[in-house]
Structure 1
Amino acid sequence: MATEDDEFKVPRIKLGSQGLEVSAQGLDCMGMSGVYGPPKPEPEMIELIHYAIDRGITHFDTAEMYGPYANEILLGKALKGGIREKVEVATKFGVKLVDGKAEICSDPEYVRAACEGSLKRLGVDCIDLYYQHRIDTRLPIEITIGELKKLVEEGKIKYIGLSEASTSTIRRAHAVHPITAVQLEWSLWSRDVEDEIIPTCRELGIGIVVYSPLGGGFFSTGPKLLENLADGDYRKSMPRLQSENVEHNQKLFERVNSMATKKGCTPSQLALAWIHHQGNDVCPIPGTTKIENLKQNIGALSVVLSAEGMAELESIASADAVMGDRHGPGAPTWKTSDTPPLSTWKCT
């Protein structure tokens, strides 16, 4: 197994072309606050965050929806005592609970209120990277970005990001105010973004932040993942982990695992190394709630893949290698994120 040297510090990269610098690997804090089953003990999660900082991870990703609100509060507590100046805080707005159901909203009034709420919960004066969590297809993207631009001018946020946005949405948003990062799902079993989204980001000088680079944990243990999922863990409903698909997808894991064994690393490290080798404009943010897993993830930075190794992995993870969609029916993704033209919009 590729191990993480206690002296090794995660290097830094430039994310996008607007001046933001982050650690080459970030930490998705979502799973700490109940999305993958019950919330984890707060002292342990703060210890994990501090350990990550000691090892050079400075890019922390959260959202108002995680908890909801609890994850931002947790991160805010972890960053007290002079730690704030050492890190880059990324959070998101745009998905809120209404009568117990998630609703996508990016009206200007809500954008501003959400930002103020996140600033308070995080205990910061300015958010480094502020994402639209999911695209509100009810109103032109220009309306939302226009309000975010005002927040930049007011010093409440530094950089603007989009998550799960189509190429059209990215281009239109970028024309209003430069977009620094696009967050998207990219892994050995989610490669559809390679056709249009990744090239568009690179054309426009937009950084790429990768969530679920380990396929929600599938590339750690394969189908055994299902045996350890807590009640309430949304991954239980993932189409790719349903009985009719998981046996087929196990073959993909076995081939990745076999290649990892030959290289002397874990399958999760190999899958994560594949993302790291995509370019210095890519920052994966694998999530974990355990220090040992965090060590493994950092160890992936030491896994070297040749051009032949990359080609072998991509052959294993070909378009027909995976069975089942990555999300259930109706889940908003970049494929359904186009918004109405600004020319057709009438203020109400």
Structure 2
Amino acid sequence: MRTLGIGPDGRSPGVIGLGCMGMSYAYDPGGRDDATSVAVIHRALDLGANLIDTADVYGPYTNEELVGRALAGRRERAFLATKVGFVTGADRLRRDGRPEHVRAAIDASLRRLGTDHVDLYQLHRVDPRVPLAETWGAMAEAVSAGKARLLGLSDVTPDQVRTAQAVHPVAAVQSELSLWTRDRAAELLPFTAREGIALIAYSPLGRGFLAGRFGSADDVPDGDYRRTNPRFLPENFTANLPLAAGVREVARRRGITPAQTALAWVLSRGAHVLAIPGTKNPRYLTDNTVAAGIRLDDADLALLDALPEPAGARQ
């Protein structure tokens, strides 16, 4: 597995990691299988996909507990990342960047994860009610206390990164990035490259759409949040099929899978880019990691870059 050094000590996770959210939150609730998910995490470590990404709000809390069980006896092999900044409300998530919340949340996350530190502690979303410098200052306290090695941000602007950088170094920025969502990271990609900040691409497979998992909107499982995602609604799903077809065409020409094609495109966006596709399937995990070694040629990239933007709002 090709690796990328993150932070001043250059600890090097694989450029393909593992997003763990879908193992216990949001996706296909009827297909939850903790034993298989634990086995997938173990296999990810064996394959060098050691950036294991979770968050306290996934579940809530149960995903961190699952990851903690999976890493028992294997913690030193993982580049472990979790997040703070969301709390569950009566019927939706709300942001909470208060310093007192951050201080309590890191301790709770460490208990659930069964470790004394995380490698990357990330602000899930900026809370508009709390100055970012105050939230980031509390997260920097976690680094000073040895509870986190590095800090990161998710879904932010370059100006917000600069605000955080003035308080404590930003090691990584998460952003949705895929052929399904190309606009979100357009400004962040060159900015993070110049600043020496890793960009971690989440949902690099377009929430499964680019991998060809779904033939129609009806294939999305009951209770799966994608049922309400505008891009998966029947009228938009049909309009988006040419996008998936273009990915399949490049995959066919190269003799690789659509998922590998989509992931290779993400990694082609810059030498500082990592991707964290999520899966509960050991075979998909193995296929995904192969993408770290695939280089698309200019013709492939031109075809993929020319694909239409998806129909339906991002959610």
TM range (shorter): over 0.9
Instruction: Return the match for 1:313 from 281, 286, 304.
Output: 304
Write the distance in 2 (CA, Å) between the matches of 1:13 and 1:227.
39
**Higher Rg of the two aligned structures:** 1
Structure 2: which 5+ runs fail to align? none
Write the distance in 2 (CA, Å) between the matches of 1:113 and 1:257.
46
Q: Deviations over 1:125-181 (max 9, x none)?
A: 011101111110111110111111111111111101000011211111111111000
Write the distance in 1 (CA, Å) between the matches of 2:274 and 2:218.
30
Within 5 Å, which residues of 2 pair with 1:149-188?
A: 149-188=140-179
Structural RMSD (CA) = 1.6
Q: Quick one: structure 1 residues 103 and 193, their matched pair in 2 at CA, closer, same or farther if it must change by over 3 Å?
A: closer
Within 5 Å, which residues of 2 pair with 1:34-183?
A: 34-38=25-29, 40-81=32-73, 83-183=74-174
Further displaced range: 237-246 or 131-140:
237-246
1:215 — aligned with what?
Answer: 206
Write the distance in 1 (CA, Å) between the matches of 2:245 and 2:36.
33
Alpha-carbon contact 1:59-1:88 (below 8 Å) kept = yes
Alignment: residue pair count:
314
Q: Deviations over 1:49-90 (max 9, x none)?
A: 111111111110000011110000011011112x11111110
Write the distance in 1 (CA, Å) between the matches of 2:79 and 2:290.
21
Alpha-carbon contact 2:7-2:150 (below 8 Å) kept = no
Write the distance in 2 (CA, Å) between the matches of 1:53 and 1:161.
22
SS of 1:183's partner is strand
Q: Quick one: structure 1 residues 215 and 223, their matched pair in 2 at CA, closer, same or farther if it must change by over 3 Å?
A: same
1:323 — aligned with what?
Answer: 311
Q: Deviations over 1:102-140 (max 9, x none)?
A: 111010000011101000000100111011111101111
Higher relative contact order (CA 8 A, sep 6+): 1
* TM-score normalised by structure 2 residue count: 0.95
Structure 2 counterpart of 1:324, which letter? G
Write the distance in 1 (CA, Å) between the matches of 2:299 and 2:28.
39
* TM-score normalised by structure 1 residue count: 0.86
Instruction: Return the match for 2:10 from 7, 19, 22.
Output: 19
Identical counterparts, % of pairs: 40
